Amino acid sequence: MAKVHECKIHILHPTQITVGLIEVSDKCILLASMTKRDRRAFLSEHSIPGVLGPDDRLYITDHHHLALAAWHMKVESAFFFVEAKWSQFGVKKFWREMIKNHWAHPIDRQGEKRPIAEIPSHVSGLCDDIYRSLAAYVRNAGGYEKTPTAYAEFLWADFFRERVVIGSTRADFDRAVRQAYNLARSRKARGLPGYYS
C-alpha cells in the first residue's frame, strides 16, 4: 500500500477542468459539521491520489471535489499518496503519460475536449458542470454502482447531458435527479460503467 503524506491544499494541481459545485457544496457542509480532529481523521481516510510531475508539483488524479471543498473551508492541508513519480519528465511528455494512464481529463462544462493548457493551475480554478453533480447524485441514489473505471462520472454526465434538461432551481435539479435515475436504470444506459444489469 502506498505511503500517505500530508500536503498543503494550495500546492495541489488539478488534472481536470470541471467539478460539480453542488457536490462540492455538500462536501463543504460535511467538513463544516466536523470537529477539527474528526475532519483531520476524515481527510486521512480519504487520501487524495496524485502524481509527482515536473518541478515536483503534485497533480491530483481524483477527489477534486474534496480538494476544492477543503480549500473553500480554509483547511490548510489534506493527505495524499503518490501513484507515480514523473518529475523527471518534460511538460509535454508528462501530460502525454497522464492522458495515456487516464489520469487527466481536459473536458469542459459542455462535455467537449479542450487543450491541456485549459486545465487550471489550482483547484480554485475548477469550474462547474452541473451534470457532474447530477451524475454523483444519481449514483448516490443507487442509479448505478461506484466503479474503479477512470472518470466514469464524466461518462454518466455526458449520457445525462444529452437526455436531461436541468432548470435553474434546486427543485429543478431534484426533478432532474429523479428523471436521470430512471434513465440510469433503463436499457439506454447499458454499457456504461457501473450499470446495474
pLDDT at 43: 96
Q: What is the pLDDT of residue 3?
A: 80
Whether domain 4-128 has CATH 1.10.357.10: the reply is no
- pLDDT for residue 158: 95
Three-state secondary structure call for residue 172:
helix
Position 121: which residue type?
S
* Burial of 197 (C-beta count, 10 Å sphere; 0-12/13-18/19+): exposed
Give Cα separations from 69 to 4, 31, 154, 183 (angstroms).
20, 8, 19, 29
Pairing between β-strand 58-60 and β-strand 4-8 as defined by DSSP bridges: unpaired
Q: What is the pLDDT of residue 4?
A: 87
Return the pLDDT at 150: 75
Contact 80, 52 (CB under 8 A): no
pLDDT tens digits for 165-184?
Answer: 999 999 999 999 999 999 99
pLDDT score recorded for residue 2: 66
Domain boundaries, the chain: 4-128, 130-189
Statement: residue 1 has pLDDT above 70: no
Q: Give the pLDDT confidence of 24-77 residue by residue, as tens digits.
A: 999 999 999 999 999 999 999 999 999 999 999 999 999 999 999 999 999 999
Does residue 95 surpass a pLDDT of 80?
yes
45-48 long-range contacts, CB within 8 A, separation 24+: 46/79, 47/4, 47/78, 47/79, 47/80, 47/81, 48/7, 48/12, 48/78, 48/79, 48/80, 48/81
Q: What percent of the chain has pLDDT over 70?
A: 99
* CA dihedral angle for residue 179, residue 180, residue 181, residue 184, rounded to 10 degrees: 130
Give me the pLDDT at residue 28, please.
97
| pLDDT tens-digit map of 110-166 | 989 999 999 999 999 999 999 999 999 999 999 999 988 878 899 999 999 999 999
Domain 130-189 CATH assignment equals 1.10.8.10? yes
Interatomic CA distance for residues 170 and 184, integer angstroms:
20
